[in-house]
Amino acid sequence: MPRAFITGITGQDGQHLAEFLHSKGYQVFGMLKGQNNPRALQFRDEFPYVELVPGDLADLPSLVSALEYAQPDEVYNLGAISFVAMSFGQAELTSNITGLGVLRMLEAVRMVGGTQNNKIRFYQASSSEMFGKVREVPQNELTPFHPRSPYGCAKVFGHDITVNYRESYDIFACSGILFNHEGPRRGLEFVTRKISNAAARIKLGVQDELVMGNLDAKRDWGFAGDYVRAMWLMLQQDAPDDYVVATGETHSIEEFLTLAFAEAGLDDWHRYVRQDPKFFRPAEVDFLIGDPKKAQDKLGWTREVDFPALVRMMVRHDLEVEASRLKK
């Protein structure tokens, strides 16, 4: 039975990946931070097959102990301070966890897997936010980085140190440069889930307005369930490499609003949405659109859920959750 170790197990991608690897017959270990993590109870209920191991990306000895215990064949480093807006206010914390955390995880892999013929395969969750003020459209694996947030800067370090450990120590380390991916498990702080949840709550009469930032921002949005498959595929190849994972399509927040409110049965989103400059980013990223050709050609990866289906899935989920909450 192959063994996988996932940091960021309680996050959106951690949950999808745990489910996916379990279905592939893996023994799954997930790293849980904190002495009384508020997400632990619900996580244990939903994912009884995942063995939780304590550890924190700020603490190298804890990562070493966690890997010594799990003895994984594959490590997926998904843990991060991942909310771009928050990274402006907590830049040092973001750099420490999202950036230096990758270095600590790689060191733990080197220490536990051995400095020669290291057998552990490593995946780093890199991000399209590294492209920021984009140098070309669409962006591929060779497009230069120009991050526009502390989060993007930390991810650039995480990406570069992953490549460096691969080249310096012959570690099977891959960096997946993933464009935005969403779904019903997305945190409520992220714009897509904020919209799908508000549409559901407005429809059910428990909320009457939605306060938003920049509605013109455009993103390349896919479904998280499709994207974790790409992570796994990267670690199954003969040689480690870096891949862009994206849909190759871009959509505006306005388009997301239009589809989401229509799915909830609300005719005109303009009636409910107010903009507040407080939600604008100090520096916005440009036209993010990924070129997934390499992932398609080399990994045989394709997405299964398109943009309208993604929005539909999220709104239907939130309508169900909010309606059952009302019944209680």
Question: Considering beta carbons, is residue 11 or 184 the nearer one to ligand NAP?
Answer: 11
Residue number, 13 or 318, with CB nearest to ligand NAP: 13
Cβ at position 179, least distance to ligand NAP in Å: 7
Single out the segment in contact with ligand NAP by CB under 6 A; choices: 55-63, 110-118, 289-297, 301-309.
55-63
Binding residue for ligand NAP (CB under 6 A) from 2, 3, 22, 39?
Answer: 39
Strand partners, 28: 4, 50
CA distance 50 to 7: 12
257-286: contacts with ligand NAP (CB under 6 A) = none
CB of 40 to ligand NAP, least distance (A): 8
Give the shortest CB-97-to-ligand NAP separation in angstroms.
Answer: 4
Quote the CA–CA distance of 42 and 22 in Å, as a whole number. 18
Nearer to ligand NAP, 2 or 54 (CB): 54
Q: Is 125 in the site for ligand NAP (CB under 6 A)?
A: yes
Active site residues: 127, 129, 151
Q: Which is nearer to ligand NAP, 78 or 305 (CB)?
A: 78
Note whether 42 binds ligand NAP by CB under 6 A.
no
11 in contact with ligand NAP (CB under 6 A):
yes
| Site track for ligand NAP across 75-94, x = CB under 6 A | ---xxxxx------------
Q: Which residue's CB is nearer to ligand NAP, number 75 or number 80? A: 80
Cβ closest to ligand NAP, residue 57 vs residue 67: 57
Task: Please report how close the Cβ of residue 237 comes to ligand NAP at its closest, in angstroms.
Answer: 20
Phi, psi of 290 (to 5 degrees): -95, 155
Nearest distance from residue 187's CB to ligand NAP, in Å? 5
CB 26 to ligand NAP: min, Å: 18
Out of 67, 178, 246, 259, point to the residue binding ligand NAP (CB under 6 A): 178
Using Cβ positions, the residue closest to ligand NAP within the complex turns out to be 11
The Cα 55–Cα 60 span in angstroms is 9
Six-digit token string for 119 = 């057998």
Binding mask 179-198 for ligand NAP (x = CB under 6 A): -xx-----x-----------
Find the shortest distance in angstroms from Cβ 205 to ligand NAP. 29
Question: Under the criterion CB under 6 A, does residue 251 sit at the interface with ligand NAP?
Answer: no
Ramachandran class of 256: left when φ > 0, alpha when ψ lies in -120 to 50, beta otherwise: alpha
Is 230 near ligand NAP (CB under 6 A)?
A: no
Alpha carbons 48 and 148: distance in angstroms, whole number: 39
Residue ranges in contact with ligand NAP by CB under 6 A: 7-14, 33, 37, 39, 56-58, 78-82, 97, 125, 127, 178, 180-181, 187
